[in-house]
Amino acid sequence: MIDIDVVRSDFPVLQKKVYGKPLIYFDNGATTQKPLCVLDEVRKVYTDYNGNVHRGVHAMSDQTSEAYEGAREKVRSFINAAGREEVVFTSGTTGSINAIAYSFGERYINQGDEIIVSEMEHHANIVPWQILCQRKGSVLKVIPFNDRGDLNLEEYLKLLSPKTRIVAVTQVSNALGTIVPLKEIIEPAHAMGIPVLVDGAQGVQHGFADVQSLDCDFYVFSGHKIYGPTGIGVMYGKEKWLSGLPPYQGGGDMVDRVTFEKTTYNELPFKFEAGTMNYAGAIGLGRALDYVKELGRDEISDREKTLLAYATERLSSIQGLRIFGQSDRKICTISFLLDNIHQYDTGMILDKLGIAVRTGTHCAQPVMEHYGIEGTVRASLCFYNTIGEIDALGTGIEKVISMFS
Ligand code: PMP
Residues 341 and 286 in one domain: no
CA angle 391, 395, 13 (to 5 degrees): 60
What distance in angstroms lies between residue 179's CA and the mean position of ligand 1's atoms? 15
Atom of ligand 1 nearest to the CA of 173: 3
Residues 186 and 325 in one domain: no
Beta strand spans in 314-404 (E)? 321-324, 333-338, 355-356, 358-360, 376-380
Residues 305 and 288 in one domain: no
Residues 92 and 44 in one domain: yes
363 is catalytic: yes
Count of domains for the chain: 2
- The predicted model scores a pTM of 0.98
Residues 276 and 362 in one domain: no
Q: Could you tell me the CATH number of the domain that includes residue 374?
A: 3.90.1150.10
Q: Could you tell me the CATH number of the domain that includes residue 59?
A: 3.40.640.10
Residue numbers of the domain that contains 372: 4-30+296-404
What gap in Å lies between CA 43 and CA 50, rounded to an integer?
A: 10
Residues 129 and 260 in one domain: yes
222 lines ligand 1 (CB under 6 A): yes
What distance in angstroms lies between residue 157's CA and the mean position of ligand 1's atoms? 26
What confidence score (pLDDT) does residue 317 get?
Answer: 98
Residues 337 and 222 in one domain: no
What confidence score (pLDDT) does residue 189 get?
Answer: 98
What gap in Å lies between CA 295 and CA 29, rounded to an integer?
A: 20
Residue type for position 2: I
- Of 293, 325, 349, the residue that ends a domain is 293
- One digit per residue, the tens of pLDDT, for the chain of length 405 reads 899 999 999 999 999 999 999 999 999 999 999 999 999 999 999 999 999 998 778 999 999 999 999 999 999 999 999 999 999 999 999 999 999 999 999 999 999 999 999 999 999 999 999 999 999 999 999 999 999 999 999 999 999 999 999 999 999 999 999 999 999 999 999 999 999 999 999 999 998 899 999 999 999 999 999 999 999 999 999 999 999 999 999 999 999 999 999 999 999 999 999 999 999 999 999 999 999 999 999 999 999 999 999 999 999 999 999 999 999 999 999 999 999 999 999 999 999 999 999 999 999 999 999 999 999 999 999 999 999 999 999 999 999 999 998
Our mutation pick for probing the ligand 1 site, out of 28, 91, 94, 285, counting the most ligand atoms within 8 A of Cβ, is 94
What confidence score (pLDDT) does residue 55 get?
Answer: 77
DSSP track, 60-77: HHHHHHHHHHHHHHHHHH
124 lines ligand 1 (CB under 6 A): yes
What confidence score (pLDDT) does residue 156 get?
Answer: 98
179 lines ligand 1 (CB under 6 A): no
Task: Tell me, letter by letter, the H, E, C secondary structure of 246-300.
Answer: CCCCCCCCCEEEECCCCEEECCCCHHHCCCCCCHHHHHHHHHHHHHHHHHCHHHH
- Of 293, 315, 345, the residue that ends a domain is 293
What is the tens place of the pLDDT at every residue in 312-348?
999 999 999 999 999 999 999 999 999 999 999 999 9
170 lines ligand 1 (CB under 6 A): yes
What gap in Å lies between CA 388 and CA 232, rounded to an integer?
A: 33
